[in-house]
Amino acid sequence: MGILDSLRKQAESLRQQTARDSGSHGLAELNHGAAVARLRAVHDFLLDLVEQVYVVDPDTEFDYDLPEVGTLTGLKLGRLELMALTRGEMEVTLSYSLYKDGETRFQVPADAAEILQHGLRENGLWVVAERTADETGGLLSLSVKSQVPVRFIFREDFADSLIKLRIENYDMPGSQEFGVHPDQVNDAFLDELGRYVLRMKNNFLRRVRSRTSGFTPLPTDEGDDSGLPSTREVSTSRIMSLFNREVHLYLAYNDTIKEITSRSPEFVFGRAADCDLVVPSEFASRRHARLVFRKGKFVLIDQSRNGTFIKVQGGKEIYIQGEEVPLSGSGFISLGKSASVSNAHMIYFNIQ
């Protein structure tokens, strides 16, 4: 092949690639336009809905479940607000409250009160633990303000050509996420959305493609002799999972930073090239150790010849071989060699 033929072939290849890139870009712009148009339709519908609700002021009452705590009864729906933002990707947020005057007191196991209180507060509820002089049976009173913030967040997902919907605190504290194709957002969809927002009979959730991270609540016991709702004792890790609190673990090794969440698959350290974190140390085995999330904690499982050293900040170094240990806080992991200043292969971890 002569030089001219070679150049012609290269030029034609570049033209074809440019055409493909241009077509792909055009399709992305088309999908972006469709998502924005449908989000505007959602915004206009919700704006009209909010205006009509303020005129009608429905007086229907609702009950609201607090898993492992009890039920808030007789709540009204109101204080609706609608907001639209454009920050590269459009976002529409509808928020309202389920509320009534006053507070409700519940009895919970004393050793679970702190994490229950934390979970409720993380989801926007106002709650205070009340210690009394006549505590019996290891129970403690939680005083919960009868006001629950509910939010619907519609956001364009440019990468997936979808509209993402996040619903917070609808049935109980926590959140659900869904993916909605722009073509789904028609008049029937909007009508079902309105019914769902107002807690009327609807089929809204059947219309969206579920990406939920919700949970199934545990049943509560009947009230005790004091007349207050009571709950049975549950583990801290189970309670944390009720509030959809995603735990993050960050690993830093030389110039590499890895993020693992409580929903990630297992994470492998070692010398092998297919490990999630490759540590080319002479003391490390090919697949030296694994990290898994189990019962509310990240657990390090050693499966090596030389063992693993773990040093938690402010604590003593521990050594495991063929064993496992839960991680907490922050500190250092070293494969096959003690964690020391002279060790160039230490891995820093931090849990948040």
Are 230 and 254 within one domain? Answer: no
Residue 111 inside a domain? The answer is yes
Residue whose entry in the numeric block shows the structure tokens 């229950």: 116
Q: How crowded is residue 14: how many other Cβ atoms within 10 Å of its Cβ?
A: 10
What confidence score (pLDDT) does residue 133 get? 45
Domain final position from 242, 268, 287: 242
In this prediction, residue 206 carries a pLDDT of 75
- Assigned token pair, 183: 């073509």
114 lies in the same domain as 217: yes
- In this prediction, residue 14 carries a pLDDT of 61
Q: Checking phi first, is residue 145 left (phi over 0); if not, alpha (psi -120 to 50) or beta?
A: beta
Do the beta carbons of residue 244 and residue 260 sit within 8 Å?
A: no
Q: Residue 13 domain-assigned?
A: no
Domain count, the chain: 2
Residues 233, 150 share a domain: yes
Sequence-ordered list of residues with C-beta below 8 angstroms from that of 312, at least 6 positions apart, any chain: 327, 328, 329, 330, 331
Strands 347-351 and 256-261: unpaired
Q: Which residues pair with 307 in a beta bridge?
A: none
258 plus 296 within the same structural domain? yes
Residue 306 lies inside a defined structural domain of this protein: yes
CATH number at residue 272: 2.60.200.20
Which residues does residue 268 pair with via DSSP β-bridges, in sequence order? 290
2 found inside a domain: no
> Does residue 298 lie in a domain region?
yes
Same domain for 79 and 194, yes or no, is: yes
What is the span of the domain harbouring residue 286? 248-351
Report CA Rg, the chain. 27
Residues 227 and 261 in one domain: no
- The Cα-based distances of 331 to 124, 232, 291, 344 in angstroms read 31, 35, 15, 15
**Residues 126 and 206 occupy one common structural domain:** yes
Residue 23 lies in a domain: no
In angstroms, the first-to-last Cα distance of the chain is: 61
Same domain? 65 vs 203: yes
**Domain annotation covers residue 9:** no
Determine the pLDDT at residue 10: 65
- Rounded to whole angstroms, how far apart are CA atoms 47 and 130? 41
SS3 string, the chain, reads: CCHHHHHHHHHHHHHHHHHHHHHHHHHHHHHHHHHHHHHHHHHHHHHHHHHHHHHHCCCCEEEEEECCCEEEEEEEEEEEEEEEEEECEEEEEEEEEEEEEEEEEEEEEHHHHHHHHHHHHHCCCCEEEECCCCCCCCEEEEEEEEEEEEEEEEEEECCCCEEEEEEECCCCCCEEEEEECHHHCCHHHHHHHHHHHCCCCCCHHHHCEECCCCCCCCCCCCCCCCCCCCCCCCCHHHHHHHCCCCCEEEEEECCEEEEEECCCCCEEEECCCCCCEECCCCCCCCCCEEEEEECCEEEEEECCCCCEEEEECCCCEEEECCCEEECCCEEEEEECCCCCCCCCCCEEEEEC
Q: Are residues 238 and 94 in the same domain?
A: yes
Q: Are residues 287 and 230 in the same domain?
A: no
255, 232: one domain: no
Q: Do both 153 and 234 map to the same domain?
A: yes
Task: Tell me how far apart the alpha carbons of residues 242 and 119 are, in angstroms, rounded to a whole number.
Answer: 8
Q: pLDDT at position 98, please? A: 92
Residue type, 297: K
Asked if 322 contacts 302 with a C-beta cutoff of 8 angstroms, the reply is yes
Q: For 251-267, b where at least 16 C-beta lie within 10 A, e where not — what string? A: bebeeeebebebebeeb
Greatest Cα pair distance, the chain, in angstroms, is 98
- Last residue within a domain, chosen from 222, 242, 262: 242
Going by C-beta distance under 8 Å and a sequence separation of 6 or more, which residues neighbour residue 265? none
From the centroid of its chain, how far is CA 250?
16
Single residue among 227, 242, 257 that ends a domain in this structure: 242
251-262 residue pLDDT tens: 888 878 888 887
Q: Residue 279's Cα: distance from chain center in Å?
A: 30
- What is the reported pTM? 0.54
For the chain, list residues with pLDDT below 50. 22-28, 30, 133-134, 209-240
Assigned domain for 187 exists: yes
